Amino acid sequence: MALSSSLALPSSLPLLSSSNTSFRRRISATVTIPQQQPPTESSKPINLPIKKIPGDYGLPIIGPINDRQDYFYNQGKEDFFKSRVQKYKSTVFRVNMPPGPFISSNPNVVVLLDGKSFPTLFDVSKVEKKDLFTGTFSPSLELTGGYRVLSYLDPSEPTHELLKKLMFKLVSSTRHRVIPEFRSSFSELFDELENELATNGKAKFNDANDQASFNFLSRAWYGVNPADSELGLNGPSIISKWVLFQLGPILTLGLPKFIEESTIHTFRLPFSLIKKDYQKLYNFFYQNSTTLLQEASEVGISRDEACHNLIFTTCFNSFGGMKIFFPNMVKQIGRAGVNLHRRLAEEIRTAVRSNGGEITMSAMEEMTLMKSVVYESLRIEPPVSSQYGRAKKDIIIESHDAAFEVKKGEMLFGFQPFATKDPKIFERADEFVPDRFVGEEGEKLLKYVVWSNGPENESPTVKNKQCAGKDFVVLVSRLLLVELFLRYDSFEIDVGTSPLGAKVTVTSLKRATF
């Protein structure tokens, strides 16, 4: 989502068991780049020519609108970038990024599409992240209570550290509820899918996933079941509308082109249309986060500002990440077929049995294939597709083939699915390879899994912009696969599309037989 895809723990916090922490340290200790791999972004250029960045922005207004038409309608995202890579013979080039006129004042960007140049966007010594969460425009502050929330802050801003610490606290203080509440919420999801399958012969995964994800986050982090509150079962639909008001300018909803172009791609939707719904969200979070709000006030953040940040972290980052990534991961595994399903079921059930029948962190550490499948899903279809940064100074950016001069103040943009499917880094880069990250050689590739606004083998801190919930996202993704394959031997799906990812319909669920 030009989203920070969800919330995760820094390695210094104790959500993960000692065995999991050891695993993370082991990866960090053993990661080296084999000689056949390309040099890292920070390496000094070796015989790389400095070239002028190809591409141009066209005429004012006309150029950005033409690029917007190509991006949304004439070509679509993938072909928009592929065609320009072919045209310029370069993975670094200039183009306009939507929305353009009349929402963003300057849509000009330098695009980075390979695994070597893309990490420049993580280096806060080179790029500034202020107000760049959604790219070349920023949604109205009315949508976040008048505050610039954490995702829009640069690490150099004092409030960034205070708010990121608050989010770390949110996750670490509730870690004991994560596994039991996930199991409870997603058992309800699978019960619902089974009932719908029995009645209709098919079941919509996305709708059930939305409800289960919001229930889980509310129960685990705030100790409350939303169905027992004023929100009832309306939380996911309210959040979806609120997110649309923020991301509408960079989405296509499948409406007729002239309608989208004359509305969401040209003008901001007025906050007044969802003000009452947002107030319900605010009331829910304010009433159920008393301790966190008190802690925030003690370090100089008002309760009001803290509450709006908790809403954003929970609803936009975390719920949004689960809403996008879980269907995408189920799609990949569903398409992989019965052989992978059986291997996962055998591994997961064996590990759980050997740990006394309990789902624990140590049990999941034994599931090497399952862990690899999660990483591969994050690699091939990252929940956050876009990253932005503004050059703090004149810098040199290297692709695999050349070096380019970027001037201070220029906007950099990276489309992550190209960087994480770089064929010069990954063999069979466009294929879903379930065991890609198994073993020592597989672990070395985690450096290039960068869905969290940073490498998978590094950790979020208050000094960087890596997703505060990186480890949390990986954990809940693993839990989804554990629950799925404890319960079922295999499943079948149909796949469509939605504005935010895959639309999954379950057509068969085969109950566990061994």
DSSP track, 42-97: TSPPSSPPEEPPP----STTHHHHHHHHIIIIIS-HHHHHHHHHHHHTSSEEEEE-
Which structure tokens are listed for 489?
């031997």
Question: Phi and psi at residue 482, in whole multiples of 5°?
Answer: -60, -50
The bridge status of strand 403-406 relative to strand 92-96 is: unpaired
Kindly report each contact of residues 100-105 with a partner whose C-beta sits within 8 Å and lies 24 or more positions away, as own/partner: 100/64, 100/65, 100/67, 100/68, 100/136, 101/61, 101/64, 101/65, 101/266, 102/266, 102/267, 103/137, 103/249, 103/265, 103/266, 103/267, 103/268, 104/135, 104/136, 104/137, 104/249
pLDDT digits (tens, 9 = 90+) for 2-51: 344 333 333 333 333 333 333 333 333 333 333 334 433 444 555 799 99
Query: Could you tell me which residues are annotated as the binding site for heme?
Result: 467
Query: Could you tell me which residues are annotated as the binding site?
Result: 467
Domains, in order of start, for the chain? 50-511 (1.10.630.10)
Question: Phi and psi at residue 396, in whole multiples of 5°?
Answer: -105, 125
Mean pLDDT estimate for the chain: 92
pLDDT band at 229 (very low <50, low <70, confident <90, very high): very high
Task: State pTM to two decimals.
Answer: 0.90
Q: Are 8 and 469 in contact (CB under 8 A)?
A: yes
Question: Phi and psi at residue 384, in whole multiples of 5°?
Answer: -110, 110
pLDDT band at 59 (very low <50, low <70, confident <90, very high): very high
Q: What percent of the chain has pLDDT over 90?
A: 90
pLDDT digits (tens, 9 = 90+) for 393-440: 999 999 999 999 999 999 999 999 999 999 999 999 999 999 999 999
CA nearest 396: which of 416, 417, 412?
Answer: 412
pLDDT confidence of residue 187: 98
CA separation for the pair 148, 49 (Å, rounded): 41
pLDDT confidence of residue 47: 76
**415 pairs with which residues across the strands?**
386
